[in-house]
Each structure stands twice: as C-alpha cells, then as structure tokens.
Structure 1
Amino acid sequence: MASLLLIKNADVYSPEPLGCVDVLVAGSTIIAIGKDLAISGNVHHTLDAQGKLLIPGLVDPLVHITGGGGEGGYHTRTRAMELTDASCYGVTTLVAALGTDAISRTLEDMLAKAKGLEHEGLNVFCYTGSYAYPVVTLTGSISRDLMLIDNMIGIGEIAISDHRGSQLTTTELARVASEARVGGMLSNKAGKVFVHVGDGKGGLQPLHQVASETDIPLQQFYPTHINRSQALLEQGFTFAKAGGVIDFTTSTNQACLDSGEVAVVDAVFQALDAGVSINNISLSSDGHASLPVFNELGQLTGLEMGRIASLYETFCELVQANLPLSDAIKLVSTNAARNLQLKHKGQLAVGLDADLVLLDAKLTIDSVWSRGQALVRGGEPTRYGQFEIR
C-alpha cells in the first residue's frame, strides 16, 4: 500500500487559488483536494499547514546539469549540479541541455547524470543536440532519440543569432524542426526546438522565416534568453502574440545588466503591458551555464555561473512587485510544463504528480516534495546527492 501524506489547512494554489483546503497524497500522486478531508487507517504523515501556501513544484526548462561554459578555456568549465542546488529552491522538475561545449560535455554523460538525479528524487528530462549543427544525437537522429529514449523530449539549445552557433540556414533550421516535430508526434512528446538566441543581428527572424517559408508552425520553437536586450525583448513580444511561448533567463550578473540585458521582473511587466498573455511566458534559470562577458572583438573578458536558485528568487521578486501569486506560479512552473507537454507537472490537481512546495507567508520555503517524497522539511534538506558535502 502506498504511503499517505495529508497536508491540512494550506492556502493552495493550483496555480489558481483554491482557498484553504487539505491535500491528500498517496505515494507519488495527489488523490484528493478538499475541505476537512478524513481518512481511515494509518496515515504515514499529517502536516498542519495553517498559515502557509502550497504551490506546484517549480519547473525549470533549462539547466546544464553536467556543467557548461568553457568559452575561456578548460579552467572555465562550470561544475555539474547537485540535488540540493534544485531541491532547496523548490525546483522539482528540470530539463537538461548541452550548450557551447558538446565535445567535453556529451549527451551520454548528460543522460547518465539525469538518471542519477532522478534516483535522488528529481524529475529530469533532456534535450538532445546542442548549440551545433549538424546535430549530434545518441541514436543517429533527433526523431529516434525522442522516440526511443524516455527522458528526451526535444532538441536544444540549438543556437541562432550568436557567434558561437553554427550559422544555420533557414533550410537547416527547418530540417531540425521537422525532425523534432515528427519525433514528438511518434513518441507523444512535445518535440520542441529549444532555441538559444544570442545578441546577433538576426534575433528571432530565422524562426519567423521557417514559419513563413515552410509548413513548420512557429509554435514548434521555444526561444530562450529573450530578455537579453531591449530589442530582442520587443521581438519576443511579436513572437508571443503570434502564439509562441518565450522564455526569460533568471540567472544574471551586473555585467550582463550593464551590457543591456533587461531584468526579468521588468521584462515580465513590459510584456504584460504590451499585451502578451501571461500564458505565453516562462522563466528558466540557465543553471550551471556560464555567464560570459565578451568585448567588442568577441573575446571573453569575464565568466560567472548560472544558478538554479535564481528561478525561485525571481518568483519571490515578482510577487513582491505585486504580480498575482497565481501568475507568478505560471511563469516558474505551469507554462513550461504545458509547453513541453509534461502533463503531470506544473499544477496541483487530483491524479497529477505530488510535486509540492510549502511556503510561509514571506515566501520562505518550508518543505518540498517531489513525487510525494520529501526533499526539504523545515527549511532543511532531508536528502542529499550521493557525493554532496553536507
């Protein structure tokens, strides 16, 4: 018999507000939500959450779980993530990707790391490929990877408008999207092309070209780093109003902001003011990627590391800036899950996975459950990665 968890008297957001209700979890699944839930028999654990908020686990659509970087040489390769890099900040589901370095970082290693993090308690999906074209895959094609490997749900980060990308033609980009689309259809997955958009002059134009010149719909693409500059942000508004989902990056540093990056909170409110639906925006951390700073000659002058924690921190900043809590949840959980067809994630409802985050009134994390298993309790980790220093 599955173990039972009964959370009493929480202020529940699904992301829509459900009021002060109880949530009953059996094993990995939510089996009831309602007032004054009563069960017979032994309850594994009952928690009185009076005065606390219960929200879905955060869904991060871009994390470099095996590390990234390397643009400044071997010593600038960032470290791989550990379980608590995500769990302590409410992230229960993430999607792994390679980036610039698909030589010393491999898909095989990324998939193995994903399996390890799953064993430790997270939900981990993957993009095949990397920045580069021709696309390197595990099985010989994008479609085969999506159909034959459970964790693979799309391709990314394929790079456009960036000096580090492969300078794809419209035909090549359309071919990538077509393979991802067919692979997604055959495997009942999203098959999205998760697109790294650099600060090059092309911006999002290559995606619009594919949509206008071929039968691939614009919504097949899922572009990220859209808050990289004001000009790109405004292109993103057009993309989103045409039905696509745009992704803003929460990891940043002062050098990025000084060079023209738009802070995520500002980007969100600008988008809403421009008429973009809240449902067409997601946030990702770009965790464990490098945050490179280049001069006008394209030479690396500085490097820091992206933080998964920034997704939760930005969520708090948005709520403090008076964005409704339900809308903030959509940005950090619901929208990415929906766009990537992670059907059991991003919401609190009967029959869905018990990925839960319990917050106090100040939005401080009290507890985190992933598939019903406690990862954080009382603000402290209950699980650590196999080789984490405690």
Structure 2
Amino acid sequence: MKSTLKLIKNAEIYSPKYLGKKDILIGGREILAIGDNLKIDSSVEHETVDFKGDYLIPGLIDNHVHIIGGGGEGGFKLRTPEIMLSDITLAGVTTVIGVLGTDGTTRTMTNLLAKARGLEEEGITTFIQTGSYEIPVRTITGSIVDDIILIDKVIGVGEVALSDHRSTCPTFEELAKVISQARLGGMLSGKAGVVNVHMGDGTDMLSLIYEVLDRTSIPIRQIVPTHMNRNPQLFSEAIKYANIGGFVDFTTSTTEVFLAEGETKCSKAMEIFYRKGILDRVTLSSDGQGSLPEFDGDGHMTGVGVGEVKSIFKEIRDSIVEEKIPLEDAITVATKNTAEHFKLDRKGEIKVGNDADLLRLDENYNIVDVYAMGNTLVKDKAPVVKGTYEK
C-alpha cells in the first residue's frame, strides 16, 4: 500500500487553527508543503485532488479503544468482539490507543499488542496502555517501567478503575506506586507515561487522585481521569480538576438510558468548557468496542450496549452544529490536545513534517475522505482499504 506523491488543491485547512484556503503536498507518509498555488512538474508521477473549498482537518486520535473487545460483565456470551479497520477509518480516526478493561484474564496484554500491530499493518497508527481495571497492573514484561521503556507501542498505563464496584479498590500507596512507575517509564523513554483512570459512579469520585496529588510530587497531568461526563457530580469534578490544571477525558459512546440518568452529552460538555475557557484541557475518547452495561441499584446488570468509535466525530459535529463552537476549537479535543498530552509526535496538527493523517469534510461537516500516513483509506464515504478479514 505505497503512497504516491499527492497534491491536494483548494482546501479550507484547519490545522486545527484556520490557515485559509491552501494547497497541501504529501510525499510518502508526511506533509511536505502547505501553500498557495503549489505545483508539481508534469514529468513527476503524482495524484492531484481538487477539494473545491471542502474542509481539511487533522485525522482524529481516539485515546481509549478496546481494540480486542471488552465487556463480559454478564458472562462469556457478552464479551464484545474485536474491532475492524473500517470501524475506525469510517469514523475519521487515524490513530488509536488500545486498552484492556474489566477483563484482564481472558483479554491479555499480549493479545492487545498483537492486535495493535495488526491494525498498524492494515494502515493506521496504534499505541497501547499497559494494565486493566485492577491493581496489581497487568503487564507484558512483569514491570510497568520495563513495558513503557522496552515496548515501542506501550505509552502509559490504563484503564485503572476507581470509584467503581468493579474496581479492586486500590489504596493510596498502590495507586501512587502505579502512577510513579508510569512517570518513571515515560521519563526514561521519552513517552508520556500517562495513567488513564476509569472513573465509576461511586461517591468517592476523585478523592484518591487528589490524595496522590496532595501527598506526592507527581504532576497533575500524569493522571487523566476518563468517563468524567458520566453523571452530574463527576462532571462538576471535571470542571474543578481542569481549573487546577488537569486534563479530563469525556466518553462519547453512550445510551439513551445513560443520558436520561444524568450523563452530560459530550457536545454540551464541550460547550460548557469552551465557555469557561478550559476546552484546551479536554480530550474525547469513544470507549469503542467496550461494553456499555446498565446496572440496577443492587449492582445487577439490566442491559448492555457496545461503544462505537464513530461517536467521537458525531459529538464534535454536534458541538459545531448544535452548540456553535467554532470548527477550529471543536476539533482540538481529538487532535492537538490528545497528541500533545500523550506525546504523540507528528500527530494532531496539519503542519510540514507531520504525518499526513487528514480528513476531508463537506460543507455540512460530514466525513468524505480519510488519509492515514499519506494513504487514502476512505474515499467518497466508502472504505477503499478494508481490514484483512472484512468482507
């Protein structure tokens, strides 16, 4: 799947910052030039695409995807399936960070690593987090630090569960040790070493995280709590956490039941953070292929859904169309913000030297084309590259 030289003409480029109507030259996997009236000698083999004023934005980064499936809270038959390439690319996502979830026994770190490598061979960029809900953390080498330093795709730890009836109820010492090990591994490898923390509906909320921050010298941005829009109390904590300098992650996959029970719709959460001037401290993730279990007051599961990667772009589009957030601000939550926080070099921005991970949007903000590392994976809303076992 070799990339030829590509020249995109007349694109309204949002880098996410608005750059104006420009041309962009792609060679191999990277952006070679951005400018006005770019030309290529006719003797040089290349492909030219005229965008005719359509929008060009960075490919989305989904920082929380159960790429080998998740779930199983209601028994083996409720284990969700592995994700397929087109589930990701049709959603406009060109980079994913894979995680385990509730099940660190039948879903293993080696499975996760193998799936990530497979998806990258099929055409997108992948990373993974070591660990699952429980502490002690599941690893590949037996050490958080060693995983992060020695395995290229491992960039941090996650998702460790807090304030949830499915967590292992870690102590301050246990959680602080995990975060400090992740930080050390990140420092020694040049990676982010961020710990992704699953937040449940428990009343403890962020109390253990605040205790770690109060009693240690660990920086606040070493910890990213996710699902922070799941109920009104946790959403209020998200505002507080962001206001003191932390990053928060909102989950885009949801159900009508969750929303009726008080979950804050992501597009609305974005609008509130935008109005407060703290949208630069927000990332969005889909929880793709994770189960969306519903429980009664006694903790018995009453229903289950499956997270979808496509929910990220839906919420971004809703934030633009319904909440009136400017396009260049709306797309930062799954592009620039994510790339900077997780230290994903060459990702998240349209600029010379970065990977050519790009989305073409029409005038109504619908995804038309998807480019990943310079290759066209989706054209005219249809996949032109499919996963190995996709029909």
Bin for the TM-score computed over the shorter chain: over 0.9
Unmatched tracts of structure 2, length 5 or more:
none
Equivalent of 1:341, from 327, 330, 343? 343
The CA distance in 1 between the partners of 2:313 and 2:253, in whole Å, is 11
Aligned to 2:58: 56
Q: CA deviation at 1:86?
A: 0.7
| Contact residue 207 and residue 218 of structure 1 kept, 8 A | no
The CA distance in 1 between the partners of 2:98 and 2:3, in whole Å, is 30
Q: CA deviation at 1:44?
A: 2.1
Aligned to 2:214: 212
SS of residue matched to 1:318: helix
Does residue 151 of structure 1 match 2:153?
yes
Paired residue type of 1:54: L
| Contact residue 274 and residue 325 of structure 2 kept, 8 A | no
The CA distance in 1 between the partners of 2:277 and 2:211, in whole Å, is 21
Aligned to 1:83: 85
The CA distance in 2 between the partners of 1:253 and 1:5, in whole Å, is 40
SS of residue matched to 1:388: coil
Aligned to 1:24: 25
The CA distance in 2 between the partners of 1:61 and 1:309, in whole Å, is 13
SS of residue matched to 2:335: helix
Aligned to 2:122: 120
| Contact residue 54 and residue 358 of structure 1 kept, 8 A | yes
The CA distance in 2 between the partners of 1:47 and 1:295, in whole Å, is 53
SS of residue matched to 1:126: strand
The CA distance in 2 between the partners of 1:296 and 1:276, in whole Å, is 37
The CA distance in 2 between the partners of 1:299 and 1:242, in whole Å, is 36
Paired residue type of 1:333: T
Give per-residue Cα distances to partners, 1:246-290, cap 9 Å, x unaligned. Answer: 0100000011112221111221222233x2511101111000000
Tell me whether 261-270 or 207-216 shows the greater mean CA deviation.
261-270
Paired residue type of 1:67: G
Q: Map 1:1-390 to 2 at 5 A.
A: 3-40=4-41, 41-273=43-275, 275-321=276-322, 322-389=324-391
The CA distance in 2 between the partners of 1:293 and 1:338, in whole Å, is 34
SS of residue matched to 1:22: strand
SS of residue matched to 2:152: coil
The CA distance in 2 between the partners of 1:272 and 1:365, in whole Å, is 23
The CA distance in 1 between the partners of 2:135 and 2:18, in whole Å, is 44
| Contact residue 63 and residue 98 of structure 2 kept, 8 A | yes
Give per-residue Cα distances to partners, 1:285-330, cap 9 Å, x unaligned. Answer: 0000000000111111100000001011111111102110011110
The CA distance in 1 between the partners of 2:187 and 2:13, in whole Å, is 34
The CA distance in 2 between the partners of 1:45 and 1:251, in whole Å, is 37
Paired residue type of 2:84: E
| Contact residue 96 and residue 125 of structure 2 kept, 8 A | yes
Q: CA deviation at 1:33?
A: 0.3
Q: What RMSD, in angstroms, separates the aligned Cα atoms of the two structures?
A: 1.1
Paired residue type of 1:158: V
Paired residue type of 2:34: I
Q: CA deviation at 1:43?
A: 3.7
| Contact residue 339 and residue 348 of structure 2 kept, 8 A | yes
Paired residue type of 1:326: E
Q: CA deviation at 1:2?
A: 6.9
| Contact residue 12 and residue 20 of structure 1 kept, 8 A | yes
The CA distance in 2 between the partners of 1:155 and 1:296, in whole Å, is 30
| Contact residue 244 and residue 280 of structure 1 kept, 8 A | yes
Q: CA deviation at 1:51?
A: 2.1
Paired residue type of 2:124: L
Unmatched tracts of structure 1, length 5 or more:
none
Give per-residue Cα distances to partners, 1:90-134, cap 9 Å, x unaligned. Answer: 100010000001111111111100000000001110000000011
The CA distance in 1 between the partners of 2:224 and 2:277, in whole Å, is 15
Give per-residue Cα distances to partners, 1:12-61, cap 9 Å, x unaligned. Answer: 00000000000000000001000001122424210001120000000000
| Contact residue 5 and residue 43 of structure 1 kept, 8 A | no
| Contact residue 66 and residue 109 of structure 1 kept, 8 A | yes
SS of residue matched to 1:72: coil
